[in-house]
């Protein structure tokens, strides 16, 4: 009986105008969106490889340790998934004067957005009159005069509605995937397809929530026109309002100190104040060395050439000069350490508060299935917050190996020439370790997606139970 | 007769479930949005008191704009702290950069509520304008009276428009009154004028979607069909077209990525430092050369970016939602045009401040940064009027098309 009812529902939908409209719209806009996103992803890949080549050529020609760290800063390469999901990858880069604020005005459209907005709307369109429509037509009581349980009728309707929704979605998706497959520049690997499967599973549950919601509302209303209004009311709140309000509410509940004033204070501590302290400390230590080593008399007024000559001439001078230099460097290291520790206190406090606020905003927003699905898709596709953290960890590892390399290289430079200016001398760094971005393993991405997925599944279940309960009590006449 | 029809429509709406739920939605959203964004404005204002430059500091910071409560636009980009240094402009961002959830979803300001929710409300009032009465059989009865189809349609449109517009204006007025209670929030005459203009644009935008509803309703026989068509058109106009348009424009305009610009600067800086060491005593000349190269890069980038903005504007305007956002944010002083202008001023300020920037960073002596927002007249002349006119023309064209369709309708 369940099969019969589901089949009847599917046939009904297939012949309806709304099915045709949704089908045509998706079939046009999903492939069009994927095509535009794919071209954009290829453009980003080109940009990335051009930039890397540029960095290499600079390293070859102008590398010196004073500014090297600025040039080799790690950057995130475009992931192949950009052809479908954008997440947080739109970069307005407000931290720089050459920014690109357009994505703030008009956020990008991607697969997540199409599923989350267009398809959830379509889910409501398919289900808003599932019960009330039949009640209005008078066929609902006829169905129930057969030996069929109410729950069976409801499940049949849910199955039928879901099938009618997924048919156009999957067709349009396949068309979109063909666009990706046909593009030789977008090379998806096994893990990408795995992530896609995860995102589609999330999409099914997400859309299930809205099919269920439509049926729930429909069995509580006596007229279809009232039913669509209530459904849209809930939809607007859940999809378009709660997620947008949540970061603002979180920032009111858990405020953070002004990032600009903390940033300025940190800059002052590690720059102007550091220089003052460094000058003071190194003057003290150098004076002490000068007192103990009279041979160095007048060294602070000697030029580079004179010092070299003196070192060659006099082994005592050479030994004393080495101590002199070491003490001076140690003073600056000490000044850096003290000032960085002060700055770290400020930065750490800011970071902790920001993390607390972000966590609260995430928790608040996940009351909305839209936000849960958005996070799920972004994390699975390596375009979300999780990837930002992952990238941060990779960068930190890179900076550690860079530090080791710099120490080793400077040791070599000093061995070759004890008076060399370690920071401001051209150096060949072609043997330097390069930053390599590796996507996070699929398994741990799936682990991260478990929470939003369970939230969605729980919500879907709750909506279904509620719709069964309210249909059981509905007056079908 | 016209007034009778208008009265009948309003009376019918007032008693309907639709009116109750839609007005509930709009009032909850508008007041929540104004409350939350008002509080946000207050805390940004408190931040500004902390970061405003002391006399002599070469820093350009704008205070938060009160109208950003209504149209956030690019406010976050405009209220950054631009700090002038010997090697260029260092931009520091405010709080919203810290919490990634901000980046996931657009700001829920007044303009967002109107753009997304009020347009939906207008559609819900418009979708069964003709078809419901035809289904109920009252349309032929109404036309059995000596009333022209034009009067009937105009009366229905006006009645429904008033049913949306009057509560909308009342709720907005209430929200404004609540905002006036927020300490630190001062209303000035010109600001109220700007606000009136934003409300006017919102009404034109609502009228447009009502006319769209009327048109589709007159074209379709059943109101459920009309609703499906309208909801899909709405999603297309409000969400998909404006956002796809920007992305499409990017594929035409060759704009270097922001990352490429940042890296380029680092590279030039590195090169010049090394060269200034190898040629002793050339430090100042090198810094000058570096700044000139930065300026060239900057200028090239801005030219291309402006081209991208222009092209994406043209493409996005296919969607009335984009035209509305452009008009409202520009009038509020948080639009993309105002932001570009601010950047030009900051560059001019940089050149002025650099000339007087002393080597001693502890005793700076730069002039204060002064920025004058464009007047409403300038905003309108620079494209705002076009966007407003576009909304009105679009609305009129849809109404005319709806009227033409209604003339040929079989009312039985």
Closest CA to B200 of B324, B318, B77, B321: B324
What tokens were used for A221? Answer: 């209303």
Closest CA to A246 of A89, A145, A85, A374: A374
Question: Is A103 in Cβ contact with B244 (below 8 Å)?
Answer: no
Question: Is B77 in Cβ contact with A99 (below 8 Å)?
Answer: yes
Task: Indicate if the pLDDT at residue A457 is higher than 60.
Answer: yes
Taking the Cβ of residue B362 and every Cβ of chain A, the question of whether any pair is shorter than 8 Å is answered with yes
Task: Indicate if the pLDDT at residue A209 is higher than 80.
Answer: yes
Substitution target in B100, B135, B253 with the highest count of A β-carbons within 10 Å is B100
Residues with Cβ within 8 Å of residue A133, at least 6 apart in sequence: A218, A224
Domain extents in chain A: 2-90+104-256+438-472
Substitution target in A87, A97, A305, A359 with the highest count of B β-carbons within 10 Å is A97
Percent of chain A exceeding pLDDT 90 equals: 52
Nearest CA in chain B to A361: B101
Paired strand residues for B61 = B81
* DSSP assigned state of A52: H
Residues of chain A neighbouring B259 (CB-CB closer than 8 A): 47, 51, 75, 91, 93
Beta pairing, strands B88-92 & B81-85: antiparallel
Nearest CA in chain B to A246: B101
* DSSP assigned state of A77: P
pLDDT in tens, B140-174: 888 888 888 888 899 999 999 999 999 999 999 98
What tokens were used for A312? Answer: 């060659």
pLDDT in tens, A335-362: 999 999 999 999 999 999 999 999 999 9
3-state secondary structure at position A78: coil
Closest CA to A153 of A460, A472, A473: A472
Residues B379 and B198: their CA atoms lie apart, in Å, by: 12
3-state secondary structure at position A146: coil
Residue A456: what pLDDT?
96
Task: Indicate if the pLDDT at residue B284 is higher than 90.
Answer: no
CA distances from B107 to A399, A467, B74, B116 (A): 36, 33, 10, 12
Residues B90 and B88: their CA atoms lie apart, in Å, by: 7
Paired strand residues for B88 = B85
Residue B138: what pLDDT?
84
φ/ψ region of A305 (left if φ > 0, alpha if ψ in -120 to 50, else beta) reads alpha
Residues A426 and A429: their CA atoms lie apart, in Å, by: 9
What is the pLDDT confidence band of residue B136, given thresholds at 50, 70 and 90? Answer: confident
Residues of chain B neighbouring A109 (CB-CB closer than 8 A): 239-240, 243-244, 247
Evaluate the CA torsion angle B339, B342, B347, B353 in order and state its sign: negative
- Residues B143, B152 contacting (CB under 8 angstroms): yes
What tokens were used for B299? Answer: 């200028």
Task: Please count the other Cβ atoms lying within 10 Å of the Cβ belonging to residue B357.
Answer: 17
What is the pLDDT confidence band of residue A96, given thresholds at 50, 70 and 90? Answer: confident
Question: Is A426 in Cβ contact with B274 (below 8 Å)?
Answer: yes
Residues A40 and B178: their CA atoms lie apart, in Å, by: 45
Question: Is A125 in Cβ contact with B239 (below 8 Å)?
Answer: no
The average pLDDT across B49-70 equals 91
pLDDT in tens, B205-215: 999 999 999 99
pLDDT in tens, A297-342: 777 777 777 887 888 888 888 888 888 888 888 899 899 999 999 9
Q: What is the 3-state secondary structure (H, E, C) of A388-427?
A: HHHHHHHHHHHHHHHHHHHHHHHHHHHHHCCCCCCCCCCC
Question: Is B43 in Cβ contact with A107 (below 8 Å)?
Answer: no
Paired strand residues for B60 = B82
Q: What is the 3-state secondary structure (H, E, C) of chain B?
A: CHHHHHHHHHHHHHCCHHHHHHHHHHHHHHHHHHHHHHHHHHHHHHHHHHHCCCCCCCEEECCCCHHHHCCCCCHHHHCCEEEEECCEEEEECCHHHCCCHHHHCCCCCHHHHHHHHHHHHHHHHHCCCCHHHHHHCHHHHHHHCCCCHHHHHHHHHHHHHHHHHHHHHHHHHHHHHHHHCCCCCCCCHHHHHHHHHHHHHHHHHHHHHHHHHHHHHHHCCCHHHHHHHHHHHHHHHHHHHHHHHHHHHHHHCCCCCHHHHHHHHHHHHHHHHHHHHHCCCCHHHHHHHHHHHHHHHHHHHHHHHHHHHHHHHHHHCCCHHHHHHHHHHHHHCCCHHHHHHHHHHHHHHHHHHHHHCCCCCCCCCCCCCCCCCCCHHHHHHHHHHHHHHHHHHHHHHHHHHHHHHHHCCCCC
Task: Indicate if the pLDDT at residue A169 is higher than 80.
Answer: yes
Mean pLDDT (chain A) is: 89
Question: Is A96 in Cβ contact with B261 (below 8 Å)?
Answer: yes
Substitution target in A104, A123, A271, A391 with the highest count of B β-carbons within 10 Å is A104
Residue B359: what pLDDT?
55
Residues with Cβ within 8 Å of residue A279, at least 6 apart in sequence: none
φ/ψ region of A138 (left if φ > 0, alpha if ψ in -120 to 50, else beta) reads left
φ/ψ region of B383 (left if φ > 0, alpha if ψ in -120 to 50, else beta) reads left
Task: Indicate if the pLDDT at residue A477 is higher than 80.
Answer: no
Paired strand residues for B59 = B83
Closest CA to A157 of A177, A178, A128, A183: A128
What is the pLDDT confidence band of residue B362, given thresholds at 50, 70 and 90? Answer: low
Question: Is B47 in Cβ contact with A260 (below 8 Å)?
Answer: yes
Question: Is A361 in Cβ contact with B228 (below 8 Å)?
Answer: no
Task: Please count the other Cβ atoms lying within 10 Å of the Cβ belonging to residue A403.
Answer: 11
CA distance B153 to chain A (A): 22
Residues A358 and A125: their CA atoms lie apart, in Å, by: 34
Substitution target in A137, A232, A260 with the highest count of B β-carbons within 10 Å is A260
Question: Is A256 in Cβ contact with B92 (below 8 Å)?
Answer: no
Residue A370: what pLDDT?
95
Paired strand residues for B92 = B81
Question: Is B251 in Cβ contact with A357 (below 8 Å)?
Answer: no
């Amino acid at each position: 009986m369940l099969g019969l009812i589901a089949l009847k529902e599917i046939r009904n939908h297939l012949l309806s105008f709304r099915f045709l409209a949704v089908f045509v719209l998706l079939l046009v806009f999903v492939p069009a969106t994927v095509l535009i996103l794919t071209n954009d992803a290829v453009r980003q890949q080109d940009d990335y490889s051009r930039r890397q080549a540029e960095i290499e050529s600079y390293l070859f020609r102008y590398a010196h340790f004073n500014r090297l760290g600025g040039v080799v800063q790690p950057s995130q390469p475009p992931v192949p998934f950009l052809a479908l999901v954008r997440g947080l990858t739109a970069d307005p880069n407000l931290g720089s004067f050459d920014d690109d604020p357009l994505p703030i005005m008009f956020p990008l459209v991607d697969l997540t957005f199409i599923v989350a907005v267009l398809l959830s709307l379509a889910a409501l369109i398919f289900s808003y009159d599932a019960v009330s429509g039949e009640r209005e037509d008078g066929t609902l009581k006829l169905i129930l005069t057969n030996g069929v349980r109410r729950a069976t009728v409801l499940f049949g309707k849910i199955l039928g509605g879901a099938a009618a929704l997924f048919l156009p979605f999957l067709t349009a998706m396949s068309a979109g995937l063909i666009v990706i497959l046909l593009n030789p520049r977008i090379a998806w690997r096994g893990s990408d397809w795995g992530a896609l499967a995860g995102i589609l599973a999330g999409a099914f549950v997400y859309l299930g929530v809205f099919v269920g919601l439509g049926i729930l509302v429909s069995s509580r209303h006596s007229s279809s026109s009232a039913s669509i209004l209530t459904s849209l009311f809930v939809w607007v709140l859940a999809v378009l309002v709660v997620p947008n309000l949540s970061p603002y509410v979180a920032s009111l509940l858990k405020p953070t100190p002004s990032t600009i004033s903390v940033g300025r204070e940190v800059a002052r501590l590690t720059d102007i104040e550091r220089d003052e302290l460094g000058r003071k400390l190194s003057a003290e230590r150098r004076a002490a060395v000068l007192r103990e080593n009279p041979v160095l008399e007048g060294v602070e007024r000697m030029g580079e050439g004179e010092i070299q000559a003196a070192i060659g001439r006099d082994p005592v001078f050479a030994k004393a000069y080495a101590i002199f230099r070491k003490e001076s460097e140690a003073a600056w290291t000490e000044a850096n350490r003290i000032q960085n520790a002060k700055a770290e206190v400020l930065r750490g406090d800011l970071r902790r508060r920001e993390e607390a606020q972000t966590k609260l905003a995430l928790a608040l927003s996940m009351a909305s299935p839209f936000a849960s699905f958005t996070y799920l898709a972004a994390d699975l596709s390596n375009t979300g917050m999780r990837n930002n953290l992952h990238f941060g960890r990779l960068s930190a590892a890179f900076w550690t190996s860079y530090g080791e390399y710099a120490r080793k290289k400077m040791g070599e430079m000093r061995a070759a020439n004890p008076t060399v200016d370690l920071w401001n001398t051209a150096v060949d760094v072609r043997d330097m370790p390069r930053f390599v971005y590796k996507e996070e393993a699929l398994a741990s991405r799936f682990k991260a997606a478990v929470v939003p997925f369970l939230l969605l599944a729980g919500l879907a279940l709750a909506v279904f139970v509620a719709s069964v309960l309210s249909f059981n009590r509905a007056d079908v006449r | 007769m016209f007034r009778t029809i208008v009265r009948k429509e309003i009376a019918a709406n007032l008693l309907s479930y639709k009116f109750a739920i839609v007005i509930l939605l709009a009032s909850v959203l508008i007041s929540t949005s104004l409350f939350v964004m008002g509080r946000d404005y207050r805390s940004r204002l408190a931040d500004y008191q902390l970061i405003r430059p002391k006399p002599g500091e070469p820093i350009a910071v704008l205070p938060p704009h009160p109208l950003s409560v209504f149209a956030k636009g690019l406010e976050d980009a405009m209220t950054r702290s631009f700090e002038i240094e010997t090697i260029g402009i260092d931009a520091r961002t405010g709080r919203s950069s810290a919490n990634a959830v901000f980046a996931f979803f657009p700001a829920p300001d007044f303009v967002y509520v109107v753009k997304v929710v009020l347009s939906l409300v207008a559609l819900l009032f418009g979708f069964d304008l003709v078809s419901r009465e035809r289904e109920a059989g009252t349309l032929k009865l109404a036309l059995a009276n000596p009333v022209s189809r034009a009067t009937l349609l105009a009366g229905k449109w006006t009645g429904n428009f008033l049913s949306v517009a009057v509560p909308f204006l009342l709720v907005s007025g209430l929200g404004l009154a609540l905002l006036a209670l927020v300490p630190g929030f001062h209303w000035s005459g010109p600001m109220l004028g700007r606000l009136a203009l934003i409300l006017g644009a919102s009404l034109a935008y609502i009228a447009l979607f009502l006319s769209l509803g009327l048109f589709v309703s007159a074209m379709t026989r059943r109101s459920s069909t009309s609703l499906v068509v309208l909801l899909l058109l709405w999603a297309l106009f409000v969400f998909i077209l404006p956002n796809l348009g920007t992305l499409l424009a990017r594929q035409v305009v060759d704009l270097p990525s922001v990352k490429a610009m940042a890296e380029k600067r680092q590279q030039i800086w590195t090169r010049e430092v090394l060269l200034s060491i190898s040629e002793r005593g050339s430090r100042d000349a090198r810094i000058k050369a570096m700044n000139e190269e930065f300026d060239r890069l900057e200028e090239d980038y801005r030219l291309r970016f402006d081209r991208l903005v222009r092209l994406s504007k043209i493409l996005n305007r296919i969607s009335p939602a984009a035209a509305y956002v452009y008009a409202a944010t520009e009038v509020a002083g948080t639009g993309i045009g105002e932001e570009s202008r601010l950047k030009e001023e900051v560059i001019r300020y940089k050149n002025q401040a650099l000339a007087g920037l002393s080597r001693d960073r502890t005793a700076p002596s730069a002039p204060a940064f002064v920025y004058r927002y464009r007047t409403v007249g300038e905003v309108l002349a620079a494209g705002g009027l076009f966007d407003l006119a576009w909304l009105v023309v679009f609305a009129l064209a849809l109404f005319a098309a709806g009227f033409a369709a209604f003339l040929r309708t079989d009312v039985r």
